Structure 1
Amino acid sequence: TVTTPERTLILGGPDDEPELYDLTSDPGERENVWRTPGGEGALLAEQALTLLEGVNTPEEYLAPRRESVDRWRVIGKSA
């Protein structure tokens, strides 16, 4: 989970759709906006993965999250 003042991003495993919440309009985190146009979720996910790589997070934790982002980015484009 990555949280900024405006957004919360939750990354699970490869079969779990990432979750992105707009905390300014949805502080209760009820509406997942991952699939909204603009790709903001994928950008935040890439930044989070880069941060985790930078602190030497083991690959066993990174790989499932990379798979999830890659998979759902493709699904989002075709939806």
Structure 2
Amino acid sequence: MTLSGNVQEGAWSVNVQTEPVEDGGYRSTIQVRHSSPEGDFERTFLQGKKFGTERDAVLDALREGMTWIELKMARTIKV
């Protein structure tokens, strides 16, 4: 089974989808989007850690994506 999750508010969203890894466990693909007057931002990346359950992979990936959005909106990072 593949789990996915989505969090969105206003001009930003985070989407994640789990996938099994070869040596056991799961990790997620994370997609973040943010629209602003300075332009649209979209980035897709693979979660760096692996987890024993899909549930843990989804929850951590949503947190990681929301951290990206927070840093981007605070102009802490520029990508």
**TM-score for both structures, normalised by structure 1:** 0.34
Whichever structure has more helix as a proportion of its residues is 1
Q: Which has the higher strand share?
A: 2
